[in-house]
Amino acid sequence: MLRRTGSELPVEVFLANDEEYEPYVCDVVLPSLNARCVILSRILSAAPNVVEIEKYQFKLFAMLFSSFEEVLFLDADSFPILQPDSLFTSEPFKSRNMVTWPDFWASTVSSYYYEIAAQPAPHLGIWPRQSTESGEVLISKKTHAKTLLLSMYYNLWGPNYYYPLLSQGAAGEGDKETFVAAAIAVDEPYYQVIEGIVAMGHATANGLAGSAMVQFDPTEDYGLHKSPTSSTSSTTERPRPFFIHANYPKFDPATVFEPHDVNPAFADDGSYTRAWTIPQDVIENFGSDIEKHYWREILWTACELEDKFQSWSGKKGICKAVRGYWNAVFADGKG
């Protein structure tokens, strides 16, 4: 999906350990896309008595050990719908060198954290910002080395200490609050996009079957607000959509048609449906049929790699299932 935007930026795909290494994908597919696999456990094994890490903790280590000085970090289920190259040379990154995107909820940082960090706590009932959704993070390691190192510390001791302090059990508790907290603690600048995150999905009898989140262009967001540090918009105009985080359920061709709390490919009556039809005004601003492009890549992955993914060993009918969905929803001008 990154290459569909026209971007030729190099990519490093971080894997937790050798068990996640897929020889054909890492040795053939990704190199053809100017990307390479990096196995994090091989790097961490150089450190004696390293603390065991898992899940959300991997993200900071991937940023630190990437070979890039300026990093656009994307979760594995997040992708740009516009060419992201210009983000590195435009505001707000040009002056702030760190850009984050908002989550759905307000910040719920514990007052004890502010005591530990020797930072003034916000006034009661006044939250200075939204919480952070870290499916996308833009950062310069050169200018924000202290932020990354402190954030890594927060994540290393996150599960038992800093995650509860920074989120207090709020939805999505994990690494996401460590970036801005660290930047504030070491007094390094950042910009958090003001335009709120939007849930995307399709309508059901029970409401929205949300299977993705939309984040917006930070350059346009910065330009649309008179005061970039303000938490409120100065205009009714909305920046263009820039990233899609297809977070639940994972659009894995081998599992996406299995029963889930949210069934992105199915309507209430069990028939196939487009996964993303609302909010219509946001989808219309994509500029092209992003969902169709996305499913085209899912179809290619299912059919070209069905017998090559080790993690799919023993599973049958992956290509057939995705092709059946594609033919019903998108083929012959449908959709």
pLDDT tens, residue by residue, 87-100: 999 999 999 999 99
Q: 146 pLDDT band (50/70/90 cuts)?
A: very high
Q: 133, 180 in Cβ contact below 8 A? A: no
Rounded to the nearest integer, the mean pLDDT of the chain is 91
**Tens digits of residue pLDDT in 207-225:** 999 999 999 999 999 999 7
Q: Which of 13-17, 49-53, 251-255 has the lowest mean pLDDT?
A: 49-53
pTM for the model stands at 0.92
| Distance from C-alpha of 114 to C-alpha of 109, rounded to nearest angstrom | 8
pLDDT for the residue numbered 311: 92
Distance of CA 93 to CAs 133, 153, 181, Å?
Answer: 17, 24, 18
Q: Where are the alpha helices (DSSP H) in 22-142?
A: 23-24, 30-32, 40-44, 58-65, 93-96, 111-117
Q: 196, 102 in Cβ contact below 8 A? A: yes
Greater model confidence, 120 or 102: 102
Q: Which of 18-27, 47-56, 95-104, 135-144 has the lowest mean pLDDT?
A: 47-56
Strands 35-39 and 11-15: parallel
pLDDT for the residue numbered 233: 47
- Over pLDDT 70: what percentage of the chain? 93
Residue 53 has pLDDT above 90, yes or no: no
- Scored b (16 or more CB within 10 A) or e, 250-278 reads ebbbbebbeebeebbbbeeeeebbbbbeb
